[in-house]
Structure 1
Amino acid sequence: MTTFYNESLSNQDVKQLDRKGVFHSWSAQGSLDPLVIKSGSGCRLWDYEGREYLDFSSQLVNTNIGHQHPKVLAGIKAQLDELATVAPSHANYARGLAAEKILARVPAGFDKVFFTNGGADANENAIRMARAITGREKVLSAYRSYHGGTGSAIVATGDFRRVPNEYARGHVHFFNPYLYRSDFWAQNEEEEGARALQHLRRIIESEGAESIAAILLETVPGTAGILVPPKGYLDGVRALADEFGIVLIFDEVMAGFGRTGKWLAMDHFGVTPDLITFAKGINSGYVPAGGVIVSERISRHFDENMFFGGLTYSGHPLAMAAICATLDAMEEEDIVGNAERIGANVLAPGLKQIAERYDIVGEVRGLGVFQAIELVEDRESRQPLNAKAMGQLKASMVECGLLPFVVANRIHVVPPCMVTAQEAEQGLSIISDALGSLKR
């Protein structure tokens, strides 16, 4: 019988086993040296030699409720004793209850949830719904975005990983707002938002509105840099979608379910899309799950029309139990409120102090426990800090016991939503020390 608890295992044993048989994502395999993780609790992780790490990455920005939350583990175990798996065509209590709990936390006008295995296939199926209901093909999405690694999701993605994978058809990209590196020569947020909307209008007109099924937009782009949209921008996108009969999809996979200090990031802006995609924080990744929250208008279309989509593990009972337990625990323990308070009272002021202390910090920004430090060679040129320096920073933080989320020239400050003030301050202190010790 296989056992996963073995006191004699070392970090090297586990790493050798990994390198012998595991093929890693987004990597050249020969140069990998993965960090070994054995166990975790809350915001803490440990390796096989007892070394502790403060998780300021939330893994891939998904462990919103922290590691090994006892209520979520209990929910999964209870469902495991009842029924481990069931086909999606059957009715199952855990699936229905998960849908009910999700719908209770979104604006009025949504009435169904289509469950998937993660965020990428949530976006795939949202695109499929938009194309089916409009009879159109094109999907507009931002260059500064990440929507997943599967067929249409990776082509909807704007970053460099799209380019070797452009096999899906009908995708068009536009520039979303990013005042710090404005593509519109804007001097303030009002100009950036207005000019970005005019740019999007011209893309719609030039591509032919009658050919566009959907606008797919991360409410707050995450991997691209935690880019909080200017006031009025999302309202303007909603107005353009309405004007041209386009389905508006908000990708809340990374930003949703507590990350920004609200149940959904869209709650900050008061704008309602037609479809909402989710994953990650919905159950902190304890069992893979994602989905599409479907507006009543769109779900009614499929009352009489076939939906040509489905997944063997759609609404898997263990994943649904994890969702139910996560949402209950987040509400009972005010974890969403904690994310808001930690962001406003600890992270934001702490990052501002770091920005004032180090001239390689170009900008800090974010909401809740969804913050970013953008690093530059110098503030005048705003040239991104080089890869060698970023590598040194990452190594320094790990050496000091912090597990960071580093993307390009940025440190994303994204601890679990239940992080304490003391843990947040500890993490900021390690980041500050690493910046201070950087060899220039």
Structure 2
Amino acid sequence: MTDLQSRPLIDLDAARTHELDRAHVFHSWSAQDLIDPMVVTRAEGSWLWDGEGTKLLDFTSQLVFTNLGHQHPRVVAAIQEQAATLCTVAPSYANAARSEAARLIASHTPEGLDRIFFTNGGADANEHAIRMARLHTGRQKVLSTYRSYHGGTQLAVNVTGDPRRWSNDAASTGTVHFFGPFLYRSEFHATTEAEEGARALEHLEHLVAMEGPQTIAAIMLETIPGTAGIMLPPAGYLQGVRDLCDRHGIVYIADEVMCGFGRTGRWFAVEDHGVVPDLLTFAKGVNSGYVPLGGVAISAEIAATFGQRPYPGGLTYSGHPLACAAAVATIRAMEDEQVVEHAAHLGRDVIGPALRELAARHPWVGEVRGTGVFWAIELVADAATREPLAPYGGSSPAMGAILAACREEGLLPFANYHRIHVVPPLTISDEDVLAGIAMIDRALTRAHAAH
């Protein structure tokens, strides 16, 4: 064997990894000189190891996509098998991995969403859904909520409502924002979920009237907003949105990039609300992020728009065989191992009760909310005024102390502004969930004592 053949493809030394990262990698959403990325050397199940060999419980699912956990053997084997057969092929050709992935996805989407357009991730899925809606309706405007995230590409980040939009927003993309329901921080002076839902719908109806319904192509909603706060819609709200869209010929786009594929204890979160959108976008959990993949599930009516008329859009890697093979293995594993049912159990019997007990003990916890394996801990400086523990769009010394304490406890936490999200893999054990929540419990106690 020659020296070149015996040399490892990648130097796995953690110090060298960090050195090269700092010299050459440009990180997203970051001031480059102010970050010090943690090196991850390996991962398995719900755990990962940093460059110093420290074992950490992953309560983030990375960016809420490793729904099957790290290194699931069936998905790894599927990628290896597909790589040995057909690594890649242009999207104009049919290939077995893509065809089977589309069939499996359509077997779980709401009834009627049977055609699947594949993308490389969630942002471009949302971009293409909006393009389809605009071409189908002949209209331009897209409505979305302020507390939302739909992706980092040009159109998707303008449809986004949260502060990541601000630096990118030229007010030229035909996007209009409105307030969605969120009782804990109600914009409508509501005191009950029923009031919040009704008043939020009234607000949206007024906005549609003022914008001109004949100008609106789509209303795009995260069924349950993810990084914006995991706010569950009140009963009847999404049905009200569906009815509003039907009255005015507006396309209803459900963004399930984060909340889809079992995260909420259902295959898709819209199932809990009895509505069928015209377009449903997905990514992340479709193959646990092992190979980049996203897509749009399309209604028959919108698909028919492009039956005799070419759809003017596509991607070089649409339906990539490695990504689709990973999706096939992921969905089959979820079916065979009852992953969605386990997620529902975790939310109902483990996470929900444990977080409610935690909230009762800590003055900084204003509210806990969620479903399945999709929960948020709302942290406040004052429970009476509900002043956030960190400002909207920023952080604070108190939040920094909590996150540092979590890391010291052995937990990798998911934080956004003044919240901690509990979003581990759907396959996590009851015992590991409780261990992770206990780590958050101790971290809150330590940080509160210090501040």
Instruction: Give the TM-score taking structure 1 as reference length.
Output: 0.98
1:72 alignment partner in structure 2: 75
1:85 alignment partner in structure 2: 88
SS in 2 for 1:38: strand
1:146 alignment partner in structure 2: 149
SS in 2 for 1:140: strand
Alignment of 1:263-412 (within 5 A): 263-386=267-390, 387-412=396-421
Q: Distance in 2 between matches of 1:5 and 1:395?
A: 31
Report Cα offsets for 1:203-252 as digits up to 9, x if no partner: 10000000000000000000100010000000000000001110000000
Tell me which of 176, 181, 185 is aligned to 2:180.
176
Q: Distance in 1 between matches of 2:302 and 2:258?
A: 24
Aligned residues of 2:65 and 2:258 also touching (Cα < 8 A): yes
Whichever residue aligns with residue 158 of structure 1, its letter is G
Whichever residue aligns with residue 142 of structure 2, its letter is V
1:3 alignment partner in structure 2: 8
SS in 1 for 2:280: strand
2:393 alignment partner in structure 1: none
1:433 matches 2:408: no
Tell me which of 213, 218, 233 is aligned to 1:229.
233
1:42 matches 2:15: no
Aligned residues of 1:142 and 1:176 also touching (Cα < 8 A): yes
Pair 1:47–1:109, CA change in 2 (3 A):
same
Q: Distance in 2 between matches of 1:238 and 1:392?
A: 43
- Residue 164 of structure 1 deviates from its aligned partner by 1.3
Aligned residues of 2:38 and 2:51 also touching (Cα < 8 A): no
2:119 alignment partner in structure 1: 116
- Residue 63 of structure 1 deviates from its aligned partner by 0.3
Aligned residues of 1:221 and 1:227 also touching (Cα < 8 A): yes
Unaligned runs of 5+ in 1: none
SS in 2 for 1:262: coil
SS in 2 for 1:304: coil
Identity of aligned residues (%): 56
Whichever residue aligns with residue 423 of structure 2, its letter is V
Q: Distance in 2 between matches of 1:104 and 1:63?
A: 21
Whichever residue aligns with residue 77 of structure 2, its letter is A
- Residue 371 of structure 1 deviates from its aligned partner by 0.3
Aligned residues of 1:262 and 1:340 also touching (Cα < 8 A): yes
Unaligned runs of 5+ in 2: 391-395
- Residue 5 of structure 1 deviates from its aligned partner by 6.2
SS in 1 for 2:387: coil
Structure 1 stretch 130-139 or stretch 380-389: which is displaced more? 380-389
Q: Distance in 1 between matches of 2:369 and 2:8?
A: 44
Q: Distance in 1 between matches of 2:283 and 2:362?
A: 36
Whichever residue aligns with residue 426 of structure 1, its letter is A
Aligned residues of 2:113 and 2:298 also touching (Cα < 8 A): yes
Aligned residues of 1:133 and 1:301 also touching (Cα < 8 A): yes
What is the number of residues matched between the two proteins? 438
1:243 matches 2:247: yes
1:200 alignment partner in structure 2: 204
2:432 alignment partner in structure 1: 423
Q: Distance in 1 between matches of 2:205 and 2:57?
A: 44
Report Cα offsets for 1:52-111 as digits up to 9, x if no partner: 010000000000000000000011111100111100001111111000000000122122
- Runs of 4+ off more than 4 Å: 4-7
- Residue 36 of structure 1 deviates from its aligned partner by 1.1
- Residue 267 of structure 1 deviates from its aligned partner by 1.2
Q: Distance in 1 between matches of 2:137 and 2:154?
A: 21
Whichever residue aligns with residue 218 of structure 2, its letter is A
Q: CA RMSD in A?
A: 1.0
Structure 1 stretch 175-184 or stretch 298-307: which is displaced more? 298-307
Aligned residues of 1:111 and 1:299 also touching (Cα < 8 A): no
Whichever residue aligns with residue 64 of structure 1, its letter is N
Whichever residue aligns with residue 13 of structure 1, its letter is R
- Residue 418 of structure 1 deviates from its aligned partner by 0.3
